[in-house]
Structure 1
């Protein structure tokens, strides 16, 4: 079994514990794992936080992003030889000049209806709609906890234009969440095809790292083997 250094990047309104169900599978496969804690204050800040974690791993690194975490990994290591593979899990994979928000608009996403603006440019998801939008196949008790502990995130993260995408130079894998009410599956398939990613799918809500952790971990391991 190929042992890899795996760095996991979460999305908006969440934290590194989003990967809590995936990490044990990766450990069982022998991988070394680190989950980034994004500040969610700007894309620039999130990219910097991710680079710090990647650069302290021996490498080469399999870099996996879920949701907005895909935008982060797209921008984090575009010019680095330290990353051997990118894995997108129900994730944004913007091209140069695109934003996460722009992709949502292009594909008619309705997640914006559940976003609640806070002070200082921050926002969160309506707790009453969290399970419907984000975690439809996660038990209600767990989904309610996730809604309660969600991390306020800067709207600027969604609006920031992406730089030169790492997926143009790094081999990529993509897992489509077929029952996603946040990032439309059509958008996911479009991005996966555009970047020529090895593509799989799961019958999952947006929260596939929680509801389909084994399949997510399997894809990350496939990426590690594919670049060994």
Structure 2
């Protein structure tokens, strides 16, 4: 009886000590979560009047760094057509994807970004309207330099727009080599005027993390409008002083760095 009387408290104490030793370990195991792997799929969307080839400097950096990069060549015939073209490329991705848009491409990714493969958005000197808004109306509130220049934006009889080739180098591409800017001025993709005035039916930035780049010397989109978009979306914002609207071509290292930051942190 003496043995059992002494043993019981010792056994109880042993149980308490064991529990106290293992409890922190169990709690630590519950609180520790492996960090999400960086996103490896990147989809790049161009804007009005240009095609996807302008993304090549950024593409080269991202692919060298190990990312799987796809480009959308949207037809620029309507917002619906351009969103469909983007979703078609998103369907081909094998997992989580960062969706990147330049200029009018921002409106496209805002609507197409609800696609389930998209985990983050990057706006590069881009529009980011909300549901029911269109970039044309928003641009009137904070007009760009180009929008205030008579004759800078031309329109064909069948409703397609282009930037006057004489104005293109200084307005769209002031920090590109002049020969390159002139070539782009004469190789424009004419863009249906209706894409600028079609209200959005979805706004992915309301539910997914976003990053935004302000081109400090943008003449196509007012930099203050870009700042306003990104502030409203609570985007991680980077300002690149002195950059033109062609920031994705003239400052590819800085643009790629923002995209890679999104890829590393979008799922955290």
TM-score band by shorter chain is over 0.9
**Residue matched to 1:85:** 120
Separation in structure 2 between the aligned mates of residue 103 and residue 111 of structure 1, nearest angstrom: 15
**Residue matched to 1:127:** 165
Q: Shift in Å at residue 96 of structure 1?
A: 1.2
Separation in structure 2 between the aligned mates of residue 29 and residue 23 of structure 1, nearest angstrom: 10
Q: Shift in Å at residue 108 of structure 1?
A: 2.0
**Residue matched to 2:248:** 209
Aligned residue for 1:116, secondary structure, equals strand
**Residue matched to 2:19:** none
Cα RMSD (Å): 1.1
Picking from 257, 262, 266, the partner of 1:218 is 257
Query: Is contact 2:39-2:96 (8 Å) kept?
Result: no
Structure 2 unaligned blocks of 5 or more: 1-36
Change (3 A) 1:174 1:25: same
Separation in structure 2 between the aligned mates of residue 130 and residue 103 of structure 1, nearest angstrom: 22
Structure 1 unaligned blocks of 5 or more: none
**Residue matched to 2:5:** none
Larger Rg: 2
Return 123-132 or 105-114, whichever deviates more.
105-114
Separation in structure 2 between the aligned mates of residue 110 and residue 122 of structure 1, nearest angstrom: 21
Aligned residue for 1:41, secondary structure, equals coil
Q: Is residue 100 from structure 1 mapped to residue 160 from structure 2 by the alignment? A: no
Count of matched residue pairs: 227
Picking from 209, 216, 219, the partner of 1:171 is 209
Aligned residue for 1:54, secondary structure, equals helix
Query: Is contact 1:3-1:30 (8 Å) kept?
Result: no
**Residue matched to 2:30:** none
Picking from 27, 36, 43, the partner of 1:7 is 43
| RCO comparison, higher one (Cα < 8 Å, 6+) | 1
Aligned residue for 1:62, secondary structure, equals strand
Picking from 112, 132, 154, the partner of 2:192 is 154
**Residue matched to 2:219:** 181
Separation in structure 2 between the aligned mates of residue 108 and residue 150 of structure 1, nearest angstrom: 22
Picking from 51, 68, 84, the partner of 1:48 is 84
